């Protein structure tokens, strides 16, 4: 018979998946033939998987990845692309994340910089890490609004708590003085404490010139380039390939 008191207690303890799995077992004659340990393990697995899926969904929503379905397992790694299999395996291990290293990715438009960055972000979420994705121009807009409404310090503190921050489209447009200082503040809070992924169409040799002010540029690049993996993706635009397939 269905053990109603036990079901009610499971719901009261917020073990919803376990309660529903127990109900399913009671309706399934084949599961009733299993021993206690097997049935109990199935109940625990149901609750665990439900909570893990819920946690992953929450982390992915919080991350706000530009390419939500980007996946490391789907990335094509070739030496001609500037991303060989050994490098991809090293990135997929996420050792650099635990070691608080940065990943800097450059290349022409369409070669897969954002996809790689989002795939690493998605993998980090799957491993339980807090991730934040922002296009750098969008981040500057958020910072400007935070300054206007008095929440600037709160925003910087919030960004600093993410284990991985992805800054996409580094090097677009022209920087204002305030934006240089804001970028330095963000990176200073993360230096040797958390990991940052940066993508840019500009080659590394032009980053200093784009940043403008030599003193601030030196400070920003010191915090980015020191202890970082640097990748230069090559090849034709992969966007054209996807359009051709459609």
Cβ within 8 Å of residue 237, ≥6 positions away? 108, 109, 110, 111
Pick left, alpha or beta for residue 189 (phi over 0 → left; psi -120 to 50 → alpha; otherwise beta): alpha
The helix (run of H) or strand (run of E) holding residue 183 is helix 177-190
d(CA 133, CA 65): 5
Q: How large is the C-alpha radius of gyration of the chain?
A: 23
> Where are the extended beta strands (E) located within the chain?
102-106, 131-135, 164-170, 195-200, 228-232
Q: pLDDT tens for residues 60-113?
A: 999 999 998 999 999 988 888 889 999 999 999 999 999 999 999 999 988 899
Q: For residue 205, how many C-alpha atoms fall within 13 Å in the half-sphere facing its CB?
A: 1
* Token pair in block for residue 174: 């022209």
Under the banding of pLDDT at 50, 70 and 90, the label for residue 245 is very low
Domain ranges of the chain: 4-62, 65-245
Instruction: Write out the DSSP string of 185-211.
Output: HHHHHHTTTSEEEEEESS-GGGHHHHH
pTM, rounded to two decimals: 0.83
* Count of beta carbons in the 10 Å neighbourhood of residue 100: 16
Asked whether 78 and 175 are in contact (CB, 8 A), the reply is no
Q: Which CATH number fits domain 65-245: 3.40.50.9100, 3.40.50.300, 3.30.70.3000, 3.40.309.10?
A: 3.40.50.300
Burial profile 182-208: b = 16 or more Cβ within 10 angstroms, e = fewer: bbbbbbebbbeebbbbbbbbeeeeebe
pLDDT of residue 11: 85
Q: pLDDT tens for residues 156-188?
A: 999 999 999 999 999 988 899 999 999 999 999
* Token pair in block for residue 192: 């040797």
pLDDT of residue 2: 55
d(CA 209, CA 218): 10
d(CA 224, CA 188): 10
The helix (run of H) or strand (run of E) holding residue 137 is helix 136-149
Identify which of 178, 22, 212, 118 has the alpha carbon closest to the alpha carbon of residue 31: 22
Average confidence (pLDDT) over 230-239: 81
DSSP class of residue 68 equals T
**Is the confidence at residue 1, as pLDDT, over 60?**
no
């Amino acid at each position: 018979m269905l053990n109603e008191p036990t079901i009610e207690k499971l719901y009261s303890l917020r073990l919803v998946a376990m309660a529903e799995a127990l109900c399913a077992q009671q309706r399934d004659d084949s599961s009733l033939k299993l021993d206690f340990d097997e049935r109990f393990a199935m109940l625990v697995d149901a609750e665990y998987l439900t909570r893990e899926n819920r946690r992953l969904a929450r982390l992915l929503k919080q991350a706000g990845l530009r390419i939500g379905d980007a996946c490391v397992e789907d990335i094509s790694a070739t030496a001609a692309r500037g991303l060989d299999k050994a490098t991809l395996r090293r990135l997929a291990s996420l050792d650099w994340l635990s070691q608080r290293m940065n990943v800097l990715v450059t290349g022409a438009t369409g070669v897969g910089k954002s996809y790689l960055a989002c795939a690493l972000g998605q993998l980090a979420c799957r491993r339980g890490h807090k991730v934040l994705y922002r296009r750098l121009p969008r981040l500057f807009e958020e910072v400007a609004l935070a300054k206007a409404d008095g929440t600037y310090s709160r925003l910087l503190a919030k960004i600093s708590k993410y284990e991985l921050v992805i800054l996409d489209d580094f090097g677009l447009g022209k920087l204002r003085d305030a934006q240089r200082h804001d970028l330095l503040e963000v990176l200073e809070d993360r230096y040797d404490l958390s990991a940052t992924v940066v993508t840019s169409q500009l080659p590394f040799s032009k980053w200093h010139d784009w940043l403008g002010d030599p003193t601030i540029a030196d400070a920003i690049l010191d915090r980015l380039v020191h202890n970082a993996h640097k990748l230069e993706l090559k090849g034709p635009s992969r966007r054209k390939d996807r359009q051709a397939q459609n």
